[in-house]
Structure formats: C-alpha cells, structure tokens
C-alpha cells in the first residue's frame, strides 16, 4: 500500500488531519507525521531530518506521497528526499495538492488500493469539489460517460433516495469510494435531483462534487462482470444511511408557519417539564473588542497559541460527551486553519494589531465569506466559525460566555449552549430550551434541570428555520415540540400542582426525612429555597472555576458562599470542594488529556496535588462558616489516607486563620462523598473519620457498572436503579448508621419519583434533589409508611435489573 507523509508547520494541524481522515477509512493506511520543531518557545516549523525519518517509516515499493503546507515545508521536503538513497528517491513523490483536502483524498484513495499515480491525480483534483460548489461556472464538469464499451455491455443501475442528515459529505463519500474500489466493475454516480451527469464513483473528489444532500435522488450505475455484486454492495450502504442516524426528510418549517400548519418535531429529552411561548432565536455574538496596537507581537502570538490550546481541550471534552463528533472535529480544524492563522499572524506582526483585535477581525471576515455563499449548508458554517472564534476570543479577553438579552418570556432556540450560558438564564424569561445539537448528559442540561427549565436537545438544524415569534409548545419529558399547538395538544400538558414550601417531608407513620437541594450557584439557591428546600446537600463549586483563564480568588469565593448561606439560613449549606477533571476541564491547570479521565486525576486527588488552590478554597469556606450553617464535603474519596491528608490540610488552614485573627466555625462539620467502589468497600473505616456521608449515585453508578455516563453508547448501563448500585447504597447507609452518623443520597436517582420509596426504605436520612423536584419528592414521602418501604427496598435488592426494579415499584405505587 502507498504510504502517506503529512508535513506541516503545526503538529496539531497534522494530527487533526490524520484523525479526520482515519475516521473515513476502514483499511489502515501507513501514515507518518513530520510537523513542528523541537522548540517550546517557537514550535512552528519543519525539519528535513524529521521528514526523512517519516518517509522511511512508511516506505514500501509501492511508493510514498508527501503532502505539505506552505513556505519552508516544501523546501524541507525537497531536502528530505535528497537525503534518501537513489533507489528510494524515484518512488517518493511530493504532491502539490492543498494539504487538508489533498491529504484526506490521498488517504482515502490509498485505503482503496490505488496506485501512486492514481492517488496523486485524485489529490491534485481535491479542490474540484469546492470549485464546483463555490464557483460552478468555473468547475470542470464531465461531459461524456467514463464507462468503457465493454462495461456498457453489462450495464445495471439503481435509483435511491439519500436519507442521512448531511447527504454524501466527506465521510459517506469515502465509504462509497472504498466499497466501489473493491470491485472490477466501473461505477457511475449521478445526482438526479440536480440533473448532474454521471461521474466516476471511484473518485472521492467527483463524488463530493455532486453535492448530494438529504432527500436527493441518486442513480448508481455499474458496468462489468461483477456489476451486480457492486451495485448490491453500494445500494446496501446507501440504504443503511452510511452508518449515520436516519432522520426524517426536512420539513419546510417556514411554509408551515406562514400557513398556520401544525407541525411536530422531536429531540432528546434533557430536562423534564412543559412550556409554551414564542420562539427566541439565540445567536451569540463575538465579544466587543476595541481596536488597539500592540507593543510585543511575539507575546501577543503566544497568547493566541495558549488560548487555542485551551479551546482545543474544551472541544475535545465536548467530543467525548456528544454524538455530534463530526461537528466538533471540524471545530478543531478551524482552530488550526492555516489561512486563518496566517492572516492573524499578518495582522499582529505586520499591522501591529493586538491579538484580540486581530483574531476578531479575521473571524468576522471568515464568517462574511461563508454568509455570502449561495449554498444554505455552507452558509450555516458561519455559525461554526462564530462558535469557535467566540470561544477563543472569550479566552483572550477573559469575557464570560454571552447570555441572551430577552425582552419577553419565550422558548430559547440555539445551536447549543455552554454551562455558563445556562447558569445566567432567568427562569421567568427562559421558559424552555431547544437546541439543534447537544447531549442530555451535558452540564448545560444538568443546570437546566436544576433551574427547572424544560430542555430538549438534538432536535436538528430545522430548529433554526423557525421564524422569531412563532409559538411553540414543548414537552421536556417526551422530547416533542409542537409548532402552532392546537387546543387538544395544549390540553395534554399536565397542570402543575401548587407547592407548599413550608411542608415537611414526614411519612404517614411520623418519620421525618430532610429534603435538600443540589445547586450550582446563587440563582438556583434562591429557587431551591422558594420551592421548599431545607438546605443544600451539595453545592457544586466547579462552575466558579470553569470557562475562565485564572482561578477564582478567595474573596470571589467568599462572597458567593456567604450570599448562598444567607439565602438558606438557618438551613445548612453543604459545600463540596472542587471536583474537576473527568468531564469538567479547567484551562489554567493545563490538565493533560487522559485516556480514561473518569479514572484519572480528578476530585480530591487533584486538590491534594494543587495545595495552593485547595487552601484558597478551604480558607473561603472556613471564613464563610462564621455565623452561617455550613458543612464541608470532599469528593471522589477512595481511601482513608486521602481523608486524613485533606483533614490535615484543613487543620493547617484553620491554624493560619487563627494566627491572623480571622474567625470561623471551629466545629464546622466535615463529610465525604461515597461515589467510588473502594469507598463503599472501606466505608467502615472512612465513617469514623468524618461527621456525615453523602452517596453520589451519578458517579457511583458508572463506576459500579463500568459504563461512562457521557458515552451515548453505554450511558444507559450507568443506571442507579440497577440492583448492584442499590446494594452499594444500602451498604453505605447501614455502615454509616452503625458508626452513628447520618447518610444523605444525592444524584439524579434522589429526584426520581420511583426511587424515593426505595431510598427511604434503605434508611437514607436525607435526599438531595434538583430544585424543581422538591415538591414532588416531599409529596411522595408524605404518602409512605416506613414498614412498607423497608420491605419494598429489600425486595428490589433481589431483582435482576434496573427495569425490573422500576416495574416492581410501579406495580406497588
């Protein structure tokens, strides 16, 4: 097989190109990267020796193709070839194709077994797809059939409808070409919906050039002795939607709106609840930046590299937690687009612009280029550029994520939302949220749930076609969205039962259960208190640290903790120390990408290694404890040694505050979260070290079931209703009570109506729930009898699956 070498000034760019191309092929291709130079201060460049080694690593008698980016890359590559021996030199070809398009084309064709000459021809034509789409009058269109007379004697054809969301874009095109290449038959493809001529189905550039979109009719033609076999194989991949999720063919929503037609859309439920109101389209703009000149261009350029690296880390986290990997893989490529970076470099070093102004200028110019195109799909890419550009610009300027300026209540429509954006929403204005992409396990969905805002994600690009002010109704439990809902549809929405905040959660036989809230900040603390929370079982402090370039100061944290405590007094506020890592990146810590982040450097492990930041948070919590009912809790504990180490640091901070004459509550309760199997096993040793326990069922479920809850393929396995998880909860509560301390249960299961009888029956002293669920959980508890739920709890522990547990509870309550 022909080998491929990628030569680039940027190692990140080269890796991203290879990663993208490898997702398009099933047959591994020998690929080597020669990118960047070994200089931490100035990593951009190319090295002839490095290129020579890369060529030799993939060399075979079938040859090697070298693709390069700009400038010195070509000179370095030419020099590297000269270093090879006389036998190897003729079989190593430097390719003039554009790097990104050429490399992807070359790798796909190499995987199909193409020759050196065939690959170079295809790679050099890699821009034909763009030319056909952007400048159709200038593109070379095939004028005659490529089929030979022999092939035409065995000619077969098949008409099919393309149903996958984006049609035959790069990855489906690669699949089509790979399959076509397996047959001797000559394969033709035409787009019947655009009246195109037949093109060579074994050429990835020509296949992409057809511009086949969802809903288009294509005709596959095969000629040759194995034509029937080839046609059947290609038909199968098309009918299987190229392995992508099938979606309904697009509905022209604008026509429906104009005619008052009632239309239903469907997405993935992310936050329960119902809402109805006018559509509010949310398209965040770039942060405002003043035009300024810079004094140190090199320093400005280094700031950009740091911001891009942080943005890449954030996007990699998104990729791990969403089904829409293609979208965000493209975002990574935007970050290393040589045209964008070259122009920004020019603006900084030649025009003397500051990095923020230079970046903003280039991003706006790029967006304008996309918006001026005729193709609606390509026009929509301007939003991707805005997303990526805004992410970097906010990192450069330290500006927070934008929040919509709403003039009236309504349903917010967006491409996707960050946790910071949702945090700033006011529940009286944002009645519901619907997003084009997104994941129900994303932190934005978790926050919407806590704020009591119904949310549906992954609805599709049709959402953005809705005209502003269109009235829609949404059901966050079923994932359904109705445009212009009729009275019958509105009537199926359940009316909200009034909640009495003062009502205590007391069983029918007199047992009191504390119902507290899971919160992330001041806004939902007030919401929780208004809804009847008797304190906070867990304040997740991560959002104080995320999406900023520096850690929050002691004073910033102190102000937040005091404000929340004052809302809750005299009820308790349980503050969980920082739990980052895993699916929660923090840019300024330069966390390495981990193969298994949930099993990595996170929670108390990370805090014990970052003493300065840990002590700053402990100082703020201790200072806030003066005259407030505050409890401290350590996350992700897996050993007695960790608890003792954390308590020793806490004692050290207390002594420092006493020396400075700063007052605090010296008897502030200290607890830990039980969310690691090791902690469950060692709970008899851990309990004597602390004042209370809190069982975190979200993480405990995924660790017990060995299923990443952010991975859509296995997330359903991380179900807290699984008897294996419930047995861990039961054991933790039992041992905690034997040691004379109270045990709380937090996580999504504590908010689930079906789970409440089980958890109470297992002996939970406190349930920490999402604020919107407080009233319902209290109502469920008030209808229970302890003797009955104890029997129920121990019966479900003997069942075989989560579904059996749910069914069993449903049959009784």
CATH fold for the domain made of 253-283+403-491 = Glucose Oxidase; domain 1 (3.50.30)
Task: Return all residues near 99 (Cβ < 8 A) that are at least 6 apart.
Answer: 6, 8, 13, 17, 67, 68, 69, 338
In the numeric block, which tokens belong to residue 549? 């370039």
pLDDT score at 678: 96
Distance CA 763, CA 513 (A): 10
Distance CA 115, CA 617 (A): 62
Task: Return all residues near 710 (Cβ < 8 A) that are at least 6 apart.
Answer: 320, 321, 439, 441, 583
What's the predicted TM-score (pTM) here? 0.53
| Cross-strand pairs, 223 | 186
Give me the helices (H) in 407-494, please: 419-423, 443-451, 487-491
- Taking the chain (813 residues) in consecutive chunks of 10 residues, what is each chunk's mean pLDDT? 91 86 79 85 80 91 90 80 87 89 87 86 74 48 45 72 78 81 88 84 76 86 86 87 61 41 76 86 79 88 90 73 54 77 91 93 84 60 75 84 73 79 77 85 74 87 78 87 76 51 88 93 84 93 76 93 95 94 60 70 90 96 97 97 97 97 96 97 97 95 84 77 96 96 93 94 95 88 94 95 92 81
CATH fold for the domain made of 297-397 = Enzyme I; Chain A, domain 2 (1.10.274)
pLDDT score at 148: 53
The DSSP string of 719-753 is -TTSHHHHHHHHHHHHHHHHTT-EEEEESGGGG-T
- Could you tell me what percentage of the chain is helix, strand and coil, using 3-state DSSP and rounding each to the nearest 5? 45, 15, 40
Domain 3-126 top-level CATH class: alpha beta
**Residue in 464, 508, 473, 515 with CA at minimum distance from that of residue 494:** 473
Provide the residue ranges of all domains of the chain, joining segments of one domain with +: 3-126, 149-243, 253-283+403-491, 297-397, 514-812
- CATH number corresponding to 149-243: 3.30.1340.10
Rg of the chain over CA atoms, in angstroms? 30
pLDDT score at 261: 42
**Residue in 547, 545, 551 with CA at minimum distance from that of residue 400:** 547
Give residue-wise pLDDT tens across range 194-245: 888 888 888 776 787 677 888 888 999 988 888 888 888 898 888 888 877 6
Segments of 192-316 assigned E as strands: 199-200, 217-223, 263-266, 268-271, 274-281
Distance CA 275, CA 567 (A): 28
The full length of the chain comes to 813
Residues annotated catalytic, as ranges = 443, 746
N- to C-terminal Cα separation, the chain? 65
Give residue-wise pLDDT tens across range 42-90: 677 888 888 998 999 999 989 999 999 876 788 788 888 888 888 899 9
- CATH number corresponding to 514-812: 3.20.20.60
| Cross-strand pairs, 425 | none
CA distance readout (Å), 571 to 455, 532, 777? 30, 11, 18
In the numeric block, which tokens belong to residue 76? 């370095």
């Amino acid at each position: 097989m022909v080998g491929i070498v990628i030569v680039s000034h940027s190692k990140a760019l080269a890796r991203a190109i290879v990663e993208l191309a490898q997702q398009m092929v099933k047959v591994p291709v020998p690929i080597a990267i020669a990118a960047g130079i070994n200089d931490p201060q100035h990593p951009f460049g190319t090295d002839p020796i490095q290129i020579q080694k890369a060529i030799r690593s993939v060399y075979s008698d079938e040859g090697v193709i070298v693709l390069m980016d700009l400038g010195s890359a070509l000179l370095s590559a030419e020099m590297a070839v000269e270093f090879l021996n006389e036998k190897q030199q003729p079989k190593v070809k430097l390719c003039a194709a554009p790097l990104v398009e050429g490399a992807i084309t070359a790798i796909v064709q190499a995987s199909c077994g193409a020759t050196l000459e065939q690959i170079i021809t295809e790679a050099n034509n890699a821009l034909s797809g763009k030319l056909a789409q952007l400048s159709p009058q200038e593109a070379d269109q095939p004028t005659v059939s490529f089929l030979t007379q022999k092939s035409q004697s065995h000619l077969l054809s098949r008409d099919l409808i393309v149903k996958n969301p984006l049609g035959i874009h790069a990855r489906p095109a690669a699949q089509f070409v790979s399959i076509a290449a397996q047959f001797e038959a000559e394969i033709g493809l035409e787009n019947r919906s655009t009246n195109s001529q037949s093109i060579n189905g074994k050429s990835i550039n020509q296949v992409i050039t057809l511009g086949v979109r969802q809903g288009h009719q294509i005709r596959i033609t095969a000629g040759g002795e194995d034509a029937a076999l080839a046609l059947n194989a290609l038909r199968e991949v098309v009918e299987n939607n190229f392995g992508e999720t099938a979606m309904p063919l697009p509905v022209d929503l604008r026509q429906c709106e104009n005619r008052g037609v009632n239309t239903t859309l469907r997405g993935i439920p992310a936050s329960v609840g119902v809402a109805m109101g006018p559509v509010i389209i949310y398209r965040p703009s770039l942060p405002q930046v003043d035009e300024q000149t810079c004094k140190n261009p090199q320093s400005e350029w280094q700031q950009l590299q740091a911001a891009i690296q942080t943005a890449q880390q954030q996007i990699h986290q998104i990729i791990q937690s969403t089904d829409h990997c293609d979208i965000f893989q493209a975002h990574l490529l935007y970050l290393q687009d040589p045209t964008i970076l070259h122009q920004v470099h020019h603006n900084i070093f030649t025009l003397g612009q500051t990095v923020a102004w230079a970046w903003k200028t280039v991003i706006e110019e790029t967006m304008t280029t996309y918006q001026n195109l005729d193709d609606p799909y390509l026009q929509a890419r301007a939003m991707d550029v805005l997303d990526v550009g805004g992410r970097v610009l906010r990192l450069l300027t330290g500006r927070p994520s934008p929040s919509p300026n709403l003039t009236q209540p309504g349903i917010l429509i967006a491409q996707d939302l960050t946790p910071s954006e949702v945090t700033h929403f006011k529940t009286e204005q944002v009645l519901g949220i619907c997003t084009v992409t997104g994941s129900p396990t994303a932190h934005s969905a978790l926050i919407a749930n806590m704020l009591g805002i119904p949310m549906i994600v992954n609805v599709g690009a049709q959402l953005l076609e809705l005209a502003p002010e269109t009235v829609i109704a949404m059901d966050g439990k079923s994932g359904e969205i109705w445009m212009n809902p009729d009275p019958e549809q509105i009537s199926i929405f359940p009316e909200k039962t009034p909640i009495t905040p003062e009502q205590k959660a007391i069983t029918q036989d007199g047992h009191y259960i504390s119902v507290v809230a899971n919160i992330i900040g001041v806004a939902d603390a007030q919401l929780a208190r208004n809804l009847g929370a008797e304190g906070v079982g867990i304040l997740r402090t991560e959002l104080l640290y995320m999406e900023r370039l520096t850690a929050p100061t002691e004073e910033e944290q102190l102000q937040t903790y005091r404000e929340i405590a004052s809302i809750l007094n005299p009820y308790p506020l349980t503050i969980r120390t920082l739990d980052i890592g895993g699916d929660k990146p923090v840019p300024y810590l330069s966390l390495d990408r981990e193969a298994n982040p949930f099993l990595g450097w996170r929670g108390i492990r990370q805090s014990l290694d970052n003493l300065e930041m840990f002590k700053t948070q402990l100082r703020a919590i201790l200072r806030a404890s003066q005259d407030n009912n505050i409890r401290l809790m350590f996350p992700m504990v897996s050993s007695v040694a960790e608890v003792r180490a954390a308590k020793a640091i806490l004692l050290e901070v207390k002594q420092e505050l006493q020396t400075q004459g700063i007052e605090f509550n010296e008897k502030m309760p200290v607890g830990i979260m039980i969310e690691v199997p090791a902690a469950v096993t060692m709970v008899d040793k851990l309990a004597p070290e602390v004042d209370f326990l809190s069982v975190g069922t979200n993480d405990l479920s995924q660790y017990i079931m060995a299923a990443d809850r952010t991975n859509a393929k296995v997330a359903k396995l991380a179900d807290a209703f699984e008897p294996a998880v419930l047995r861990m909860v039961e054991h933790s509560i039992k041992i905690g009570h034997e040691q004379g301390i109270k045990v709380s249960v937090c996580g999504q299961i504590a908010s689930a109506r079906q789970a409440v009888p089980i958890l109470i029956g297992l002996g939970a002293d406190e349930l920490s729930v999402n604020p919107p669920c407080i009233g319902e959980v209290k109502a469920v508890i008030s209808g229970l009898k302890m003797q009955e739920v104890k029997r129920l709890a121990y019966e479900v522990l003997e069942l075989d699956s989560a579904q059996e547990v749910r069914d069993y509870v449903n049959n009784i309550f």
